[in-house]
Amino acid sequence: MAVKLHLDTEFCSMTIAPSSSDKPRILDGKRTANAITAEVREAVEREGLTPGLAVVLVGDDPASQVYVRNKGRRAKACGFLSRQYDLPATTTQAELLALVESLNGDSKIHGILVQLPLPAQIDADCVIQAIAPDKDVDGFHYVNVGRLVTGAIGAALLPCTPKGVMHLIEQALGPDLSGKRAVVIGRSNIVGKPMASLLLAHNATVTVIHSRTPSPAEICRQADIVVAAVGVPGLVTAEWVKPGAVVIDVGINRVEDDDGSAQLVGDVDFEVVAPLASAITPVPGGVGPMTIAMLMHNTLQAARRQVAVST
C-alpha cells in the first residue's frame, strides 16, 4: 500500500492501491489524519517554521472542552505554538472581540479558532467576521467563503470538515470528478454549502438535498458520491444509495441504547449501506479525525503565507 502526501499543494494527495476484494473500501480517516499530521510535522521541522494556533473556548460545554483539548494536543504534536484561552460563560461580546483583535495583531499567532457554539449573549457571526481572514483557520470568514464559492481556492483557507471530506473522496476517485454526480445531504454553512462548492471545483455535477427537498431518496439514488451531513441518525438507508457509490458520513450522533448506554452513529445506516458502496467512511473514525488534521494543515498554510508576506 503506497501512501504519498503533498502538503505544498492546496489539497493533500493520498493514493491508496485499490482493493482486489469485492468488499467496500473503508476510508480510514484516523489513519489518513495521522499521516497528514505527520507530514505537517515534517514540514514544520524542515522549514524551521513555528505556526501559532490560538483556540478560544467560552463557557464549559463538555463536548467543546474535548474538542479544544484534542486540537491543542494535535497542534503541539505538530510542533506548533499552541495557546488555549478559557473564558467564563459570562464573557461579554465586547470582551471576546477584544481578545480576537489582540490575537489578530499577535505576530506569533497565525491561526485563530473560536470554538462554537458560543453563549447566547454573543453573536457568533460577528465574532467570526472579526477574525483576520488570513488567520481564519476554520474557513468561516466571508472573505474565505467568497474565495471558495468563486473558485479562488488557492487563495482561500477552506473549512476543515469539507476539506477533509474532499481528501477522502480523492482517495476513492481521484481529484477530477468530471462526469460524476454528487449529492450533498444538508445545507449548513459549515459543511453542506462549502462541500457543494468544493465538489463543483472538482468538476462534479452537484445536487444539495435539504428538509424541503421532495423525494430525497430518489434523487440520492442517482449519485456516484453521497455526502451525508444533516445530523439525523441512520437517515441514509439502502434505498438511498446506488450500488458502487462512494458514501461519506459526516454525521456524529449520540444515541442511547435500551440499556441506557450510548453510542456514536452517523447519518448513514452503515450496516445496510456498506455492502452497496464502493467506498464508505465509518463513524467514528472517518471524517472526525480528518477535521482536526485539516485544521493543522490550514494553520501551516496560514503561517507560510504570513511569514512570506512579512519577509
Do 129 and 224 share a domain, yes or no? no
Report CA Rg, the chain.
19
Do 257 and 167 share a domain, yes or no? yes
Do 270 and 175 share a domain, yes or no? yes
Do 264 and 164 share a domain, yes or no? yes
Q: Is 187 a known ligand-binding residue? A: yes
Do 104 and 180 share a domain, yes or no? no
Residue 25 lies in a domain: no
Q: In the structure, how many helices (H) and strands (E) does the chain have? A: 10, 11
Do 197 and 277 share a domain, yes or no? yes
Single residue among 138, 170, 192 that ends a domain in this structure = 138
Do 268 and 202 share a domain, yes or no? yes
Residue 153 lies in a domain: no
Q: What is the pLDDT along the chain (311 residues), one digit of tens a residue?
A: 333 334 444 444 443 434 434 678 999 999 999 999 999 999 999 999 999 999 999 999 998 999 999 999 999 999 999 999 999 999 999 999 999 999 999 999 999 999 999 999 999 999 999 999 999 999 999 999 999 999 999 999 999 999 999 999 999 999 999 999 999 999 999 999 999 999 999 999 999 999 999 999 999 999 999 999 999 999 999 999 999 999 999 999 988 887 878 899 999 999 999 999 999 999 999 999 999 999 999 999 999 999 988 76
Q: Is 252 a known ligand-binding residue? A: yes
Q: Is 122 a known ligand-binding residue? A: no
Domain containing residue 84: CATH number:
3.40.50.10860
Do 100 and 209 share a domain, yes or no? no
Residue 235 lies in a domain: yes
Do 255 and 177 share a domain, yes or no? yes
Residue 96 lies in a domain: yes
Cβ neighbors of 128 (< 8 A, separation 6 or more) are: 114, 136, 138, 140, 141
**CA 46, CA 69: separation in Å to the nearest integer?**
26
The answer to whether 99 touches 109, Cβ cutoff 8 Å, is no
Q: Which three cell numbers stand for residue 189?
A: 454553512
State phi, psi for 229 to the nearest 5 degrees.
-145, 65
Do 172 and 132 share a domain, yes or no? no
In this structure, is the dihedral angle defined by the CA atoms of residues 216, 218, 223 and 225, taken in order, positive or negative? positive
pLDDT at residue 102, as a whole number: 98
Q: Is 174 a known ligand-binding residue? A: no
Residue 6 lies in a domain: no
Residue 178 lies in a domain: yes
Domain containing residue 221: CATH number:
3.40.50.720
Burial of 134 (0-12, 13-18, 19+ CB in 10 A): buried
Do 196 and 259 share a domain, yes or no? yes
Do 165 and 216 share a domain, yes or no? yes
Residue 239 lies in a domain: yes
Active site residues: 71, 115, 138
Q: What is the extent of the structural domain holding 73?
A: 49-138
Residue 1 lies in a domain: no
Single residue among 79, 106, 138 that ends a domain in this structure = 138
For cell 463536548, name the residue: 63
Single residue among 138, 171, 205 that ends a domain in this structure = 138
The total number of structural domains that make up the chain: 2
pLDDT at residue 127, as a whole number: 98
Burial of 53 (0-12, 13-18, 19+ CB in 10 A): buried
pLDDT at residue 158, as a whole number: 98
